[in-house]
Amino acid sequence: MKEKTVSEKLAEFIHDLTYRDLPQEVRELAKLRILDTLSCAVAGRDLPHCKVATEVAKKSTGGSTLIGHREKVALLDAVLANGVMIHSIVQDDILSGLVHPGSTVVSTAIGVGEEKGASGEEVLTATILGYELVGRIMRGTGRFSVSSFRPSPILTTFGATASAGKLMGLDEEQLVNAIGYAASLTPGTPNEVWWSGTMEGMFQAGASARIGILSAILAEKGATAAPQALEGKDGFFRCWGGGTATMEKAVENLGKDFVISRMRIKVFPVCGANQRPIQIAEPLARHKLKVDDITKIIERVGIGATKYAGLDFTGPYETQFQALMSMQFCTAATVLGKPVSSAMFFAKHFNDPDVEDLAKKVELVEEEGRSLPKIEVHCVDGKVYATAEELPDRDKYVPTKEKMVAKFRTLCTDFFGEGGTNQIIDLIMDLDKVADIRKLTGRLGG
């Protein structure tokens, strides 16, 4: 018998997996991913890039929910706008420090689920499968051969395809074709956005969701795609990873090792590379130093830690995206005691003059063998304040029910009200008992 391709093995898994097959822990984690992503969407719904996305969506007609808005729109426009809103404050979940599955997968699962009148169990299963495909294609690809591409929208297209395909009831052959289209239509997105501080990065998650759903629709209607689209001699893995050496990792331990169990959350609304430096720098704020008190700040990091697009940038900061990506801005703001836990600080005070002045004094130093950042503040009076080098609290990045509920309440109560917020939390926590996901989506509008 001919060996199945990677796409065929993944398609079989997507087709066969049922809610009953899932460990209880994985089921509960899926609920938390939905809760987390929705809170991010509500928090960022009024930011400029979200307004653009929702204005575009509102030009269409349909029955799909826009988070935080009363209007119903067409499915593909809804997932575009909802994906933008979820990613809008860049505090959605993160996998391996690089990829943001939630903004694409959850917007797809909820959008397609609403259109199909799917049950809560079906939406949760589709959500879990979406995360699976993102993480498994990531494993199979290995390190991207060209660092200028942003991996998140490239990989999350597969997650949207899996979620949509499952909810649409595609058979195995159709799922193979859908994966093939995800591999072929996935966007190749350059990272230049972070240097210019423009909006492209916000729209990529929504665009990937649309392409993922389109891939499933094409397959449903009979469009064919290469079954070896992933590992073929000119396939996805060679295109993006430069080879197929790690392709079997895409199908290792299917049904036993769930990607959603490895998701981490962002404590701060900034790039993943700035999470730990901010955490480590926070104690320095107690010294209440002013810009003129400081001659320089040395931030010691591991080799290659400053190389990702937008990280090593001393300004001027003209948008929130330049600020939240910049290691210098984030460290300077933290040392000065600015509210770095607030997304609105970055959205409205990205040009804070004190932070910008101090950011110019931050020197990034890469050191061999260093795994944790160390930050030294050198003062005019000769004093040096340095961070301790003990291991920071990693549990801060682990998504627990308590953290996700607290985040949802913090970000959503002003919009939904205390009663409405509690009702949505209860609905999501009991989503597997909901017969029609529209019971939830009906509460997410304005």
Is pLDDT at 386 greater than 90 in this prediction? Answer: yes
pLDDT exceeds 90 at position 293: yes
Contacts of 274 (CB under 8 A, 6+ apart): 268, 311, 324, 325, 327, 330
CA distance 78 to 178: 21
Question: What angle do the packed helices 151-167 and 172-185 form, to 10 degrees?
Answer: 160
Given a cut of 90, whether residue 190 has pLDDT beyond it is no
CA distances from 139 to 133, 149, 243, 252, 302 (A): 10, 16, 12, 10, 23
**What is the model's pLDDT at position 145?**
87
Give the contacts of 116 (CB within 8 A, at least 6 positions apart): 167, 168
User: Which domains can be identified in the chain, with CATH numbers?
Assistant: 6-265+398-441 (1.10.4100.10), 272-389 (3.30.1330.120)
Distances (CA, A) of 339 to 42, 43, 352: 20, 16, 12
- Tokens 């988070």 sit on residue: 67
Q: Which of 187, 177, 159 is nearest to 217 (CA)?
A: 177
Buried (b) or exposed (e) across 195-233, using 16+ Cβ within 10 A? eebebbbbbbbbbbbbbbbbbbbbbbeeeebbbbbbbbe
Closest of 353, 347, 359, 188 to residue 277, by C-alpha: 359
Q: Is the pLDDT of residue 446 over 80?
A: no
- Is the pTM here over 0.75, yes or no? yes
Q: Which helix (H) or strand (E) holds 165?
A: helix 151-167
Residue at 115: amino acid letter: E
The better pLDDT of the pair 391, 109 is held by 109
Alpha helices in 288-371 (DSSP H): 320-325, 327-335, 343-348, 353-359
Residue type, 337: G
Q: What is the pLDDT of residues 251-278, one digit of tens each?
A: 999 999 999 999 999 999 999 999 999 9
pLDDT of 1 > 80? The answer is no
Residue 381: DSSP 8-state: T
Residue 117 scores a pLDDT above 90: yes
Q: How many Cα atoms within 13 Å fall on the side-chain side of residue 406?
A: 6
**15's tokens:** 């087709």
Task: Report how far residue 410's alpha carbon sits from residue 428's, in angstroms, rounded to the nearest whole number.
Answer: 17
Instruction: Enter the tokens of residue 36.
Output: 């987390």
The predicted pLDDT at position 188 comes to 82
Please give the structure tokens belonging to residue 389: 């080098």
Which residue type occupies 263?
A: M
Q: Mean pLDDT over residues 417-439, rounded?
A: 98
pLDDT surpassing 90 at residue 312: yes
What is residue 393's predicted lDDT score, i.e. its pLDDT?
83
pLDDT exceeds 90 at position 243: yes
Is residue 82 scored above 80 in pLDDT?
Answer: yes
Residues 6+ apart with CB under 8 A from 295: 361, 378, 379, 380
Indicate the average pLDDT of the chain.
96
pLDDT tens, 28-44? 999 999 999 999 999 99
CB 41 within 8 A of CB 82: yes
